[in-house]
Amino acid sequence: MLQFNHFGQPPVNPIRKFWQTYTTFPDRIFVMLVSFGVIVTVILVAFNQLDFHFTTVPVFATNIPSISITSGILTLAFSTFCLFYGMFIRTKLPRSSTFIWGMGLLFWTVFIDLIWANGLQATPFSPIDNTLVKIDQWMGINTPAMMAWTHNHPHIHHALNFIYDSISLELILIPLSLAIFNARKSLGIFFIAQLFSYFIGGMIYYFFPTMAPSGILHSPYFSLAEHDTSMRFYQVHHFLKVTTAKGGLIAFPSFHVIWAILLTYACIGKKIIFYPMLCYNIVLIAATVFLGWHYFTDVTGGFILGLGAIFFAEWVYRQ
């Protein structure tokens, strides 16, 4: 039976009231993207468990097995608190709000990235590497020759390896800096664009998967991690025991390229940081091909998707 308050009106649902009062359109889009990631990951995992039966291992989460279920639940609860408490105090304490809200965005994005990647592993479709190699050849790109040149210049090789691996540090330090310096819009645009591009790129991978160059090209200069990437794909899709969780996952489109573009754009408000980041990440993008991690076609796809994600996030903030 419907209850009424002493003003003769039905009681207001506190969750709905909070949603209408304290959340902005970008907040709602972020929550919708997170919800989409959780739901679709569950569906992908269920497909594999009920039909495909591929043997998968946790990727990009080597320390997750050591975390108890209780710790995981508490971490997600804390992340949720940060996200919504940051919205609640936005008008009263804007600087503190940005930092707390930003930490909620960061934790939830990392969580979605991890589970989404693990759901994508069990794609039942055939890889498209042969097509990507043909496109590269049509453009005059010879990946083994570029890798050989890089290997023959040890200082350049070491520098490119360092820069390529530094993307993980960028993904932590730049959002953290944006949160500390109250760059709320840049922070929101980055995380919305990151999740949006991850879902689009992930679905491209799911329906048009790739083994990576090490799975189809011949070169003595592929690293162990690069071989692990293609070997894990082979083992998963041939129902073999998976012997490694190291390496990458998605070749096309290149997420190193996507993230480099998004991270650089996040700094555009501070030119003194933006221009050095632009130069640094141009080298990082080049490293994806010169080190043999990606086809040049991957770079092109990553560039297009990265720009598309920025346009989407900017559109969200204009609403």
CB < 8 Å & 24+ apart, contacts of 7-12 = none
Q: What are the phi and psi torsion angles at 169 (to 5°)?
A: -65, -40
Query: DSSP letter at 59?
Result: -
pLDDT the model gives residue 68: 62
- Alpha helix positions (H), 139-223: 143-151, 154-165, 167-180, 184-207
DSSP labels, 242-280: P----S----SS-HHHHHHHHHHHHTTT-HHHHHHHHHH
Name 75's Cβ contacts closer than 8 Å, sequence gap at least 6. Answer: 67, 107
Checking if the pLDDT of 12 tops 90, the result is no
Give just the sign of the alpha carbon dihedral 48, 53, 54, 59: positive
Name 282's Cβ contacts closer than 8 Å, sequence gap at least 6. Answer: none
pLDDT the model gives residue 23: 83
Distance CA 129, CA 58 (A): 23
How is the chain split into domains, by residue range? 14-318
What tens digit of pLDDT does each residue of 259-289 get? 999 999 999 988 899 999 999 999 999 999 9
What tens digit of pLDDT does each residue of 72-128 get? 788 888 888 988 888 888 888 889 999 999 999 999 999 999 889 888 998 999 999
Q: pTM, whole model, 2 decimals?
A: 0.90
Max CA separation in the chain (angstroms): 81
Distance CA 104, CA 91 (A): 17
* Distance from the Cα of residue 293 to its chain's centroid: 17
The first and second tokens of residue 145, run together, are 């020759």
Distance CA 62, CA 257 (A): 24
Checking if the pLDDT of 129 tops 90, the result is yes
Name 39's Cβ contacts closer than 8 Å, sequence gap at least 6. Answer: none
The 10 Å Cβ neighbour count of residue 56 is 18
Checking if the pLDDT of 9 tops 60, the result is no
Distance CA 286, CA 282 (A): 6
What tens digit of pLDDT does each residue of 13-64 get? 777 887 777 788 999 999 999 999 999 999 999 998 898 888 888 876 654 5
Q: How far apart are the first and last CA of the chain?
A: 39
Instruction: Give percent above pLDDT 90 in the chain.
Output: 61
